[in-house]
Amino acid sequence: MLASSLRAILDTAVDGIILMDASGKVTMFNSACERIFGYAAEEIVGGDVKRLMPNPYHDEHDQYLLNYQRTGQRKIIGIGRQVVGQRKSGETFPMDLSVGEAINDFGVFYVGILRDVSDRVRAEEQRESLVEHLAKSNEEQTHFVHAASHDLREPLRMISSFCGRLARDYSERLDPRGAEYLSLAVAASEHMKRLLDDLVDFARLSDDAGRNSRFDANGVVDQVIDGLSKVIQRSDAQITRCALPQITVNPNRFERLMQNLIGNALKYAAEDVRPHIHVDAAREGAFWRFSVADNGIGIDPRHFERIFQPFKRLHARGRYEGVGLGLAICRKIVEGFGGALSVRSSEGQGSTFTFTIPTDVDSDKDATHDA
């Protein structure tokens, strides 16, 4: 009863199972092995297991088995690894193989358990090929953006320059409509310049990946606030922050991230309300969670995903400046840090943009100082 039950288990096993004696002769070859190798059991049982191996494994097998029996040095037995098998057709294929050693009344024998991993290896190769292709494609796109930007800047500079000369030397000769057209041309050239700058910045985000250093986030945020001082003074905005942590990411990217988020909060201020922006950070498990909260015009929740997409704008260009890349750049920066960027908001109630940054494994006692 036990023998028949054991045989049923062996023949219904998904993985191939082979029993071998101490000399490497096959004593049992289950149904999964027949399916994997293409041999019937009677073709293999009683023969040498080397028949299932291509060279150089075929020629090395005997020496390996003798060496193990003499020295106990393991390469597969008791360890397991990926090896190459050979089907009856001559086709070779990768397989995971583990071999165990046992003893019965007849002496030492070996139990091999194997699995055909051709599909897995093929999928890994396709994934690696795709990753390589995407990396190459991304590099080509970055080069294209840089080249296109360089080539477009010169004619754009000439347009801007000649528009300036027209405004300076011929403004008195232009009627109101001509002056308006000239003003529109100047505004369009300035918008084009900002667009090119943001496109280059967006493409360049991959260039400085990994250039991380440890720094005090307080100092970077203070620099950003100083850089926006004219806008802050013009809008009479109040900007506060809590004590921020020491973090280890790319400092230039972090500065650009905070510049975009605080700049957006200033840009989308509500009418007749003094802008108030607060920057905060708190430890949450393995991450620092930063937030930039404002009391601005807010965002309808149905647009939350749209605002992070490149060139997607919720307002007419004439009402608010920008080209629609700011938040897309922010998301790309945060994801490059290994974190996530999200927003909480409703129309007329302000917005809170939140992003996470992984903490350092050795920074449980991050230094902070009071704002």
**Bridge partners of 25?**
48
List of residues 6+ apart from 38 with CB closer than 8 A: 87, 88, 89
- Give pLDDT, residue 98: 85
- Give pLDDT, residue 116: 92
**b/e for 333-353, b at 16 or more Cβ within 10 A?**
bbebbebebebbbeeeebbbb
- Give pLDDT, residue 368: 41
211-371: CATH, from 3.40.50.300, 1.10.3720.10, 3.30.565.10, 3.50.50.60? 3.30.565.10
pLDDT < 70: residue spans in the chain: 1-5, 57-79, 106, 134-153, 191, 194-195, 197-210, 311-324, 361-371
- Give pLDDT, residue 211: 76
Structure tokens at 360: 């350092």
Backbone φ, ψ for residue 117 (5° rounding): -110, 25
Q: What residue spans define the domains of the chain?
A: 2-116, 118-207, 211-371
pTM: 0.50
206 closest CA partner among 138, 255, 274: 138
Superfamily of domain 2-116 in the CATH hierarchy: PAS domain (3.30.450.20)
Name residue 52's amino acid: L
One-character DSSP codes across 273-306: S--EEEEEEEEETTEEEEEEEE-SS---GGGTTG
Backbone φ, ψ for residue 25 (5° rounding): -80, 135
Burial group, residue 207, by CB count within 10 angstroms (0-12, 13-18, 19+): exposed
247 closest CA partner among 277, 279, 286: 286
Fold match between 2-116 and 211-371? no
CB 76 within 8 A of CB 97: yes
Cβ of 55: how many Cβ atoms within 10 Å? 11
Q: In this predicted model, what pLDDT tens digit does every residue of 339-351 receive, in sequence order?
A: 999 999 888 889 9
Rg (CA), the chain: 34
- Give pLDDT, residue 363: 43
- Give pLDDT, residue 175: 82
Burial group, residue 275, by CB count within 10 angstroms (0-12, 13-18, 19+): buried
